[in-house]
Chain A
Amino acid sequence: MPAEAGVIRGGWEFVWAAYGVSAVILTGYAVSVIVRYRAERRRRGEVRP
Chain B
Amino acid sequence: MKDDRLPYSLLGLGVALLLWGSYWGLFRAPAEAYMGDVQRIMYVHVPTAWNAMLALTFAFACALLSLLRGQAVWDARLEGALEVGVTLSALLCMQGAIWAKPTWGVWWDWDPRLTTTAVLVFAFGAILALRQFVDDPVKRATWAAVAVIIAYVDVPIVYFSVKWWNSLHQAQSTPETVSRAFHWPLRINAFGMLFLMSGLISLRARLALLRHEDETAPPLPEPALRTAGAARGAR
Contacts and interface: CB of A to CB of B under 8 A. Distances in A.
A25 B36 contact: no
Interface of A: 6-12, 14-15, 17-19, 21-22, 25-26, 29-30, 33-34, 36-37, 40-41, 44, 46
B87 A25 contact: yes
14 contacts: A8-B35, A8-B38, A8-B103, A14-B38, A18-B45, A18-B98, A21-B98, A26-B91, A26-B196, A33-B200, A33-B207, A36-B207, A37-B203, A37-B210
A11 B48 CA distance: 21
A18 B87 contact: no
Grouping DSSP codes into helix (H, G, I), strand (E, B) and loop, the B interface class, with mixed when no group exceeds half, is helix
Contacts of A41: 1, 210
B41 interface: yes
Given A8-B103, A25-B87, A33-B207, A18 B41 contact: yes
Contacts of B36: 7-11
